[in-house]
Every structure is written in C-alpha cells, then in structure tokens.
Amino acid sequence: MENKAHIVVVSIPVFSHQASIQSLCKRLLQLNPHLHITLIVPILNSLSNASKSLIDSLSSYNIHSILLPPISFPQASNIHPSLQLPRAMSQSIPSIRDALISLYNSNNKLVALIADYLAYETLELAKSLNILSYIYFPTSAMVLSLCLHSSWLHQTVSCEYRELQEPIKIPGCIPIHGRDLPTALQDRSSEVYEHFLRRSKGLYLANGILVNSFKELEEETITALQEQSKKNKFPSIYPIGPIVQAGWVNNDNNNHANHYNDSDCLRWLDKQEPKSVLYVSFGSGGTLSQNQMNELALGLELSGQKFLWVVREPNDLPSVNYFNGSSKHDNILRFLPNGFVDRVKGAGWVVPCWAPQVEILRHKATGGFLTHCGWNSTLENVVHGLPMIVWPLFSEQRTNAAMLSDGLKVAERVKFNENGIVEREEIAIAIKRVLIGDEQTKIRAAMEVLKNASADAMKEDGSSAMVLSQLAMEWRNIGG
C-alpha cells in the first residue's frame, strides 16, 4: 500500500450518486491498479439497504471506505427538500476534514481528492493540505456547462428564466427553453437558487472536473468546455464516461412476494418476442402522484403494448425517495386502478419498487425505455442502445430530456397538460411511436450509433479510457 498513490473520494448521501462514484472508483482501479482509493461516505439519517450493498461490494476491489457519523434533522424542521442535502454536506465537513487529515498524516502518499459535485465544499480542504482536487460531475456535459455559465446567466437575465420568450444559448449546447433549466433555477428569489449559484462558483476551485460523458455523445459541448479550459477560464475538463454499473443483485432486506422477485421478471422477459417490451422506471428516487400513476397505468393499457413497470407508492413530491432510494413494498398493487392487473395479465409485469435495471435493458425482449432522464439511467440506456420515452420529474432531468429529444433526437418526449399531468392518450401515442411507429426506426438507428460509440470510448484505446488512464498515471507519478 505504501508504494501506491493514495486517492480520496468523497460521496454524498444519495444512492444514485453513490452508485455512480463507486463505479468510477472501480473503473480507476481497473485502468490503473497502482492506486490506493479510500471512499468517504457521509450519511443523512441512516444508511439505506441499497447503499450498504454498494459499500459491501467495495471490499472485493480493495477499496477502503470510511462511514461518517450520521447527520440528522429534527422531524419538525422546515428545511426545503432541495436544501436537506446541502445542509447535510455542510454539517459533514468537520468529519470529512478529520478523516482527510488522518489519512494525510498516515503517510499513505495522499495526492488527490475527488469529490462529488454536491460535495464541492471539500475542495477547500484539499487546497489546505496542498493536494490536487477534482470534482466528479455525474451528469451531462451540458448541465456542467450550464453550471459554469450560471453567473453569466444570472447577470444577463433579470426575469425568471421560464418567462423568456427565446431559448437560452450557452456555448456548445443546444438552445434550451428557460422552463427546461434545472429545478433549482426556476425561482430566482429562493435559497435553492442561491445555493445553485454558490455551488457552481465552487467548481472553479477544482484542478479539474471529471464529467460522466464522452466526446461522441456531447462533442460540441465538451469541445467548447475544453476550449474555455485552455484559456484558463474553466478548470480542466476530463470526459471519462460512460461510467455505469455492470449490474448487481438486489440486497434489499424487504421481502418480495415470490411472483415479484427479480429473477421472475427476467424469466417473464425470456418468454416475450424480441424488442417487444417497454421498460418503465423512474429511477431509484422518482415517484408519481396517485392521479399520474392512474393515467400511466391506463396509458400502458391503452397502448396495447407489452410492458415491465417498476411501481412505487405514489406521492405528490416526485423526489420523496431521492435520499434513501427506496419505498415500501407492502401491497403496491392497491395503488393501481381497479381491475388493471387482471386486464393486462400476460401483457404486463408489475415490479414493486426495484428491478435489475441493467439486466432488463440488455435483455433481447426489451424494445424501449420510459425513463425519468436521470443521467445514470440515461447512460445505462445509451450503452444498450434502446429508444427512449423521456418523462422528466425534477432536478436536471428536464435539461437532459431536452438534449435527448431536441438535440440528439433519440427520444420521444411526453407532453404535460396544463395541470402538470401526462394524460393516458398522450402516453399511449408515445409508446406506439417508440415501439412500433415509423419514428422508432430512426430513433433505434441513432441509438445504435451512440451504443457503438459508448463501447468504443471505454475500450483501452478509447477516448474516455485514455483520458482516465492518463490522469491516473499522473497521480501515480506524483505519489512516486
């Protein structure tokens, strides 16, 4: 261990981010085993079963993990959901500082810190120890560009962005309507907006930003970012994606009924025709209202197409499960319309709360993906080349949806009515377009190009692999 350059990686207490950054750690060691990696994991309230499973898997990769003391807020506290994470990370800074100093003093040749974008406050800690500091940006280069240009936007636009009549033009990015900017930018008077600006400004402290994308996916955006880096206006930009999971077994402690377990849904897929099934999932943290769940169920039925749907208990707050990445399994079927399960029997399969997504996406029977546009799910789908129906819920998902549908033209985007609901007829039309319509041929061909490009980027001599290998070699040389 003493001969290996030591890298510290700081995660955040959100399952999807933990999954992504741990995949990065494994990828680093795969490309350069002459590194020693320690992962620091802040905890909000308690560690979820899904997070425990991820952390347990690290030991086989010789990745050491440090679990910090949990941070909790009083149940009666009035903290906005979007601010819970920033507050938790701020409160975790003293514990992160203690862990960093301990590692630094242990003569393990600590040379660099990599922090999740939402753990940007740790960059100052790295500077104080005179070690290199990097941000791992787990979403798209377009969203990264938006963050780096946010101060400029704030100064040049005086009204709410959603009120702008013309799309916003950011160098290297597709023009985007103000309503499609991240949720944090939708109310300029809010504390959430102020924190977004502060967090984006914090990116400039980094020596470099590792963005989970690849040149062939966002070539113009990445090129524009790197040109600004050469002029010393931005930190160095390293496109290292797609960093995705290879798939794993669900270790959730909640019991599933036998006919809903993971292997059963895959066996059901085994019986279906190639490319005939629509996979429907809103990620590890997304939820729908009861009204919207009803419309989705009836839209799936109306389409007449086969589907595999990961269903969660409804909630009016779409990000209610964002932190723990799970919800109750108990009798999920009671939230579905009366008679729905019987009517779609044989044509549809309902899975409570969690499904082996990677295995489903790679299955020959899966022909399309209805997704919330979280970047993890987006990249997992790009790797497997399926046409998409994009249904953004919160955070940067509308921005991702705009890029996929308007920019890359690999997705059909659903339309919300004046009450913010996607109606059953709209859902059925979108499903048919992606699975059986003329449009699906174009989308499938475009997705096949991206699928091949993503595979090429991750090959040993591919664009992303070479960037990450070179960076790892620089750290190794510093560590001596």
Identity of the residue numbered 130: N
User: Is the CB of residue 128 less than 8 Å from the CB of residue 25?
Assistant: no
Query: Catalytic site residue 17?
Result: yes
* Residue 436 burial class via C-beta count within 10 angstroms: exposed 0-12, middle 13-18, buried 19 and up: middle
CA atoms of 199 and 345, how far apart (whole Å): 48
Which of 466-470's residues contact partners 24+ apart within 8 Å by CB, and which partners? 467/238, 467/239, 467/240, 468/27, 468/28, 468/31, 468/210, 468/238, 468/240, 469/31, 469/32
Helices (H) and strands (E) in the chain, counts: 17, 13
Could you please report the per-residue DSSP string of 425-468?
A: HHHHHHHHHHHTSHHHHHHHHHHHHHHHHHHHHHSTTSHHHHHH
List of E strands, 204-303? 208-211, 236-239, 277-281
CA 52 from chain center: how many Å?
19
Task: Report whether 111 contacts 126 (CB < 8 A).
Answer: no
Alpha-carbon distance of 439 to 358, in angstroms, equals 25
- Residue 370 phi/psi, 5-degree rounding, is -95, 115
Contact 37, 28 (CB under 8 A): yes
- Residue matched to tokens 């993971």: 262
The two tokens of residue 478 are 């510093």
Question: Is 363 noted as a catalytic residue in this protein?
Answer: no
Catalytic entry in 36, 116, 149, 180: 116
Q: Tokens at residue 231, please?
A: 């002029």
Q: Alpha-carbon distance 465 to 181, whole Å?
A: 30
How far is Cα 372 from Cα 397, in angstroms, rounded to an integer? 7
Find out whether 383 and 451 touch, Cβ atoms under 8 Å.
yes
* E-assigned strand segments in 219-284: 236-239, 277-281
Residue among 386, 390, 381, 443 nearest 416 (CA): 390
3-state secondary structure of 264: helix
Rounded to whole angstroms, the Cα distance separating 328 from 331 reads 9
Could you identify the residue written with the tokens 């809010």? 190
Q: Which of 17, 36, 149, 363 is catalytic?
A: 17
Tokens of 203: 């990116």
Place of tokens 């905890």: 43
Catalytic residues: 17, 116
